[in-house]
Amino acid sequence: MTQNNIRQILSKHQVIPVVNFNNVNDVEQTIESLIEKKINCIEITLRTEMAFECVSIAKKLNLNNFDVGIGTVVTADQIRKAMDLEVSFMVSPGINEKLAPYFEESDIAFIPGIATPSEIIMGKQLNWDTFKFFPAHLFGGITSLKTYGQVFPDVKFCPTGGITEDTHSSYLDLHNVISVGGSWLI
């Protein structure tokens, strides 16, 4: 059960919309729009003051088979709030050994961000095997993921950062990419 079953969550969602809400009134309409597009998940970033309120609103919609996750998780306090809100998954832009126990003890699926081989090795030392590759477009994109697939054959990735409607399927064609995240869906 690596990373509290993150692969199970990601395998249900080839494309994960990454959304930064600036208005709490946009949550319900955005989720309805995603469902119309047959997308049953959302990653709400914690980049605004109202982010946790938006997560709470999304959770209160009580939608069946719709996963609400949070992104830009960088503190233990954010992990505790995620536990209180019972989110489906957590995404961090980086990897940090001090946060590792908080992620693992949360019982919430999580995926830390990496960009370099050293960060992948750090994650593997924590017995993790699934990472957000971020920001993908700045760190070699598909070419880097092909190389990582040869060097780390047991590792899976969810690339985000610069993924577009035009490029996302090329990423998904890679054997080591389990899903992609992006903002083009909104």
Residues known to be catalytic: 43, 132
Rounded Cα–Cα distance for residues 120 and 29 (Å):
37
What CA dihedral angle connects 163, 64, 83 and 123, to 10 degrees?
A: -40
* Integer CA distances (angstroms), 34 to 29, 39, 59, 116, 137, in order: 9, 5, 15, 32, 24
Rounded Cα–Cα distance for residues 79 and 134 (Å):
20
